[in-house]
Structures are given as structure tokens and as C-alpha cells.
Chain A
Amino acid sequence: MYELLQHLINGLAAGTIYALVALGYTMVYGVLKLINFAHGDVMMVGVYVGYAVAFLLGRDAASVAGALTVFTVAMLACALIGFAVERFAYRPLREKPRLTALITAIGISFALSYGFQLDLSVTAFGREWTVLPGAASKRFPDIIKAQRWASVGEPAPADPDHPEAGPGGVCLRFGEDEQASGCDDVILWNWQVIGFGIALALMVALQVLVYRTRFGKAMRAVSYDHRVAALLGVPVDRVIALTFMLGSALAACAGILFALKDKTIQPLMGLYVGLKAFIAAVIGGIGNLPGAVVGALLLGLCEEFIVGYTSSSWRDAVAFGFLIVVLLVRPEGLFGRAQAEKV
């Protein structure tokens, strides 16, 4: 029972992170009909930017202001990268066959994820600056100090601090630090709660943006038919660029939450998180925002349960297996609408 609950919490926590990345995929697919293969790798770059900022801030990074700075700078940097990728790689190919853009996207993904595995440092201003981090995984700084937000479990048999809870009872504690002993059958970490909060807030904001603002209306118009939208005065290029920036910023945020969860970062992290987020978007019905969130939560839970009850070496097969089943049974996704092919 405790185990099930713990897996449920972990699965949902992982799912929210996938959801933030999946939203970027789904938005870009919505306006461009392109699978932005490099999305996960843009996320990875954002995480490294966050890492650099946290490193420069030093001990200040663990404060609320510090954590906010890390998130903001990483999101801004990612928005810029997203803009650059769209402007220089995808825009020139927009009227070309879709395969061309897909190959380009794969190329960018490769260049980023393997480019970051190189070691490169430059000496300037009297010290050495790391330009490319190298393949070794790095420990992400604790910008949010890990704490047990809540924990449930059976108390340790002889617990002198809590004599009131005898063996066999259930204890529930709040706000203990990482090393606390006993009462640890189910732990809800503070970063899980914070991640959940951030993800939820961003999703609501996105929903409002897409369905309640002029920009959102323009986005939906471009998604429906970008040529007609252009005829009606929608600045298509600007809308697509902004969509890319928005998606990339969400990915940066997700990436840092992911780094807080896993504690370590490495250049290939983007490849797998990106693929899984894409799978989540497809499961929900690509182009559909709530669908992406539901798909991501489902995928997070599925992965956690299979890893929890079998072996962690199966983790990467779960998502792909799930994808194949969904595509076979319902290729338009859970919430997507099947589209007739136009000739």
C-alpha cells in the first residue's frame, strides 16, 4: 500500500515534468506541423545555463531569489535559442517537403547533444571559463534545499522522540529535513510539490494565453491554416517565432525541475526526456494542449509503476511500447480528432 502510494507520487512528479516539455512539442506541432526533434536538447542547454547561473551565484542560489534567477535566466536563454533555431534552421525550409525539416531537426538535436559532450574551456578575464561542459555527468546544485514536505509510514520500532506512536501505528509528519529517520514509507518531497505547483500554474497560464488572448487567437489561426491566416493579416512569422520561444522557455523550466529530481545532469538527458515528452504529446493527441498533459501524466505513472515493480533496465522500453500501442489502436491520440487526408 505504501509502495503503491510512493510510486503514485513519483509517477505524477515525473509526469508533470514530461507535461511541460510535451506542451512545447504540441504547440510547435500545432503551428508548424513539425516535430521539433531538437526540443529536448534545447531543454538540456537550458539546464546547463541554469547550472552555470547557480554556479556563479554560489551559495546565494539556494535562496528564493536565487532560485527564481536561475529559472528566469534559463528560460530566457532557452527562448533565445528556440528563436535562433526557428529563424535560421526551420524558417528557410518552411515551404520545403516536411522530411527536409525533420532531418534538419534531427541534425540540430545531434549537434547540440553531442556538441555539449566536448570539453572546451577558454581563458579570459583572468580565469578559465568552461564553454562546453564535457560528457561527464555533473551534480546540479541544490537551488531548492531538499526537504520532506510530508511523510507517512510506520514509525521506527523504538523511537524515543515520538513515544506516542507505538509499533504498527501510522505516523504523518510535515517539514522534516532530508536526513530524518523513521516514518519514511511514503515521502513527498518539497521539490515535488514546488514542481507540481509551477507546472500547474504554467499550464493554466498557457491555457488562458491560447484561448483568451489575441496572440492565442493568432496562434490558433496559424495552426488552422497559415496561408489564410497570413492573408487575413496575422503576422505568421512572428507568431511562429513566439510559439517557439514560449515552448523552449517551458522546456527550460521543466529541465531544471528534472535536474532537481535527478540531482545530476548530462548532455544526453535532453534526447530521452524529449523523446518521452513527444510520446506523451502523441498519446494525448498531438496539437491538443490538455491532451499533452494527460498523456504526460499517464506516461509518468506507467513508467514509474513498471520500473517500480520490475527492473529499471526496462524504463526506456516502456514509453516506446506505450507509443506503439497507442498509435496502433488510436493513431490520432486519446483526445485528437482524426483528419481526412486532403489531396
Chain B
Amino acid sequence: MRSLAPVAVAIVALALLQWLLRDAEYAVYLMTRVGVWVILAVSLNIVNGMTGQFSIGHAGFMAVGAYSSSLLTIFLDEYRVGFLPAALTDQLFFVLALAVGGVMAGLFGFLVGLPSLRLKGDYLAIVTLGFGEIIRVVLTNLNVIGAGGKTVVEGALGMSSIPPYTSFFSVWFGVFVVVLLAKRLAASSHGRWLLAIREDEVAAEAMGVDTTAYKVRAFVVSSFFAGVAGGLFAHFLRAINPNSFTFVESMQVVVMIVAGGLGSTTGAVVAATVLVLLPEGLRTLFLQLGGADQSLAQKVDQVRMPIYGLLLVVIMLTRPQGIFGSTEAWDWFSRRRAKGGGAKA
């Protein structure tokens, strides 16, 4: 019961928030984008932060999830579950599609992880990057003709007219689930083994940890959530193409978790939120300041990427552990309760 209590609280709180925000379209738009990136950052953190591997192909798994879940919802669009109202059927199918997208991405994570996690550090980074690129190239060459000769996936143009199922509630429920999972994983024996692999792989292996198996599991969990995030993203934008999932998107997630502190879920959440809201905020600010002159607002988008690059370098040189190091927000409470009695993880 205790383990289910937070879920019940979250559902009520999120439903309430959704109801409160029903008229604030722009806020919902922003929060949805933030939520998708938070899911991506927290899930990548399971591999890069907790397990100490370095994956830079997260966007590839996101693409798998986005494509497979969108294909499913488009396919199921014509069907109805008899006695349920249309909106509820849609949401039911959406949950199913997200699950399928996540499982497909997890399957790809397994396929990628099983062979490549035998590789160390830099090699693994390049291989994950390579898989991300291969997925993108395959999607660029993918054409799917649906029933009745309608083109559903059109190569480089991707998919369009995906039903708009993503809501504030669904995204932030996803965030809640992934954060809860990351928190409980870190505290479980499974998570401890992941941390052991991060700290010293050889020692962990000597202690009897089946390092490859645990790395692959971390990879599968991480790519599952990337797939879910991809599905949410697709049903939010309603149109996706292979260029929505490039190396740049993968790097953006990496910047988030490195800035937040590798291994800190809190850090990933905070950094993802800031790094999504900051460019948006600056753009809005410049749009209002500039009036008719929109060049400044466009500059924000262009300047973002080089700044991310410099940010990585500066963080590594000055504070390689990131803003939060490996501390978590919930540690602060428990430490206070334990009166500072070595609660530091």
C-alpha cells in the first residue's frame, strides 16, 4: 500500500493541475516540452550517471518509440472499443501505443546493448552514436503504405497527422513514473550493483557482479523510457521526421545530465527544465523587446548549440561533478530526519 500511495497522490495532483491549466495554452505547451525532455534526461541518467557508461545515441531510441507508437495509433484510429466513449478509447489506445513504443525501443536497446556493452568507455560512446545514426538513416529510407494505399510513413518527410493525444497529464505522469523508478532503482540492490559498476567495473566483476547483464538491463530500462518520451513527443507535435531525432537531440540530453550532475536524478530534472525553458524564455523576451525585428529571437536558436558545447567544456574544467553532484532532493529531507547521520548515498 505504501508504495502505491505516491502514485495515487500524483494522479490526483496532476489531474488537478491539468484542470487548473486548462486555459493556459502556452504554459501547457511549455510544460509538455519540459516534461518530454525530463523523461529523456532522467532515463539517460540511468545509463550514463548510475551505471557510468556513456551513451550518446538516446535520440535513436526516442525515434523508435515515436515511430512505432504513432504507427499504432494511426492504425488503431479506425477502431473503437464498443461500449466506451471515443475519447476514452483514444486514451486507452494511446497508453497501449506508448507501451508498445517503449517496448520496441527497449528491444532495440537490448539489441544495441548486448553486443556493445562489452566495449568500454569511448568505444561504447561511438557505437551508441553510430546506432543512433543508423536508426535515423533507416527511417529516412522507410516507406510504409497503410490500408487503402495511404502513405503513412514517407521517407525523409516522416509521418504527419498523428492524433494529438498527448496531454499535460500524460507527460507529467510519465515524468513521475520515471523519477519514481530512478529513485527506487538507486536505492535497490540492483541499483547498488549499477553504482558498483560505475565506481570500478573490474572490482565489481571480481565481487561477482555480472557486469554485462546489469549494464544491458540498465540500457533496456533507459531506452524503454526514451521510447515512451518519443511517443509522447510524436503525439504532441503531430508530425515527426527522421531529422527530429538527430545527434543534436542526443547531445542535448547529454548536456542536461552532465550539467545537472551525472548520477543525480534531481540534477537531470532541474537541468532539463532550465535548458528547455531558458531558450524559450529568451526567445519570448526578445520577441517582445524587438517588436517587428525578429532577428534577435532567431539568434537565440542559433546560439544555443555552441553555448551548449562551451557549457560542457566549462563544466568539465570547473565542476566536473555537475551542479548537483550525486545528491538528490529527497536526501535532504531524509538527512534532516536522521540528523545528518551519514545518510549521504
Whether B63 is near chain A, meaning CB under 8 Å from some CB there, is no
The answer to whether A323 touches B126 (Cβ under 8 A) is: yes
B140 partner residues in chain A, CB cutoff 8 A: 313
Whether A181 is near chain B, meaning CB under 8 Å from some CB there, is no
Describe B's contact surface by its main secondary structure. Answer: helix
Given A102-B121, A106-B254, A107-B310: A92 in contact with B317 (beta carbons within 8 A) = yes
A54 partner residues in chain B, CB cutoff 8 A: none
The answer to whether B141 touches A282 (Cβ under 8 A) is: no
Whether B313 is near chain A, meaning CB under 8 Å from some CB there, is yes
Compute how far the CA of A282 lies from the CA of B303 in the bound complex, rounded to whole angstroms. 33
The answer to whether B202 touches A331 (Cβ under 8 A) is: no
The answer to whether A107 touches B141 (Cβ under 8 A) is: no
A115 partner residues in chain B, CB cutoff 8 A: 306, 309
- CB < 8 Å: which of A35, A89, A311 contacts B141? A311
B302 partner residues in chain A, CB cutoff 8 A: 114, 117-118, 135
A96 nearest CB neighbor, chain B only: B320
B116 partner residues in chain A, CB cutoff 8 A: 324, 327
Contact size class for A?
35 or more
Stretch from B70-78, B129-137, B184-192, B326-334 at the A interface: B129-137
Whether A1 is near chain B, meaning CB under 8 Å from some CB there, is no
The answer to whether B121 touches A98 (Cβ under 8 A) is: yes
Compute how far the CA of A103 lies from the CA of B140 in the bound complex, rounded to whole angstroms. 29
The answer to whether B127 touches A114 (Cβ under 8 A) is: no
The answer to whether A108 touches B127 (Cβ under 8 A) is: no
Given A93-B317, A323-B127, A341-B202: A106 in contact with B122 (beta carbons within 8 A) = no
Whether B195 is near chain A, meaning CB under 8 Å from some CB there, is no
Q: Can you list 24 A-B pairs with a CB-CB distance of less than 8 A?
A: A98-B122, A99-B54, A101-B316, A103-B258, A104-B317, A106-B254, A106-B312, A107-B313, A109-B309, A111-B306, A114-B305, A117-B302, A118-B306, A278-B126, A313-B141, A314-B141, A317-B137, A319-B130, A320-B129, A324-B127, A327-B115, A327-B127, A341-B202, A343-B203
Interface residues of B (CB under 8 A from A): 52, 54, 56, 115-116, 118-119, 121-123, 125-127, 129-131, 133-134, 137-138, 140-141, 156, 202-203, 247, 251, 254, 258, 302-303, 305-306, 308-313, 316-317, 320
Going nearest first, the 5 A-B pairs with the smallest beta carbon separation are: A107-B312, A110-B309, A111-B309, A320-B130, A114-B305
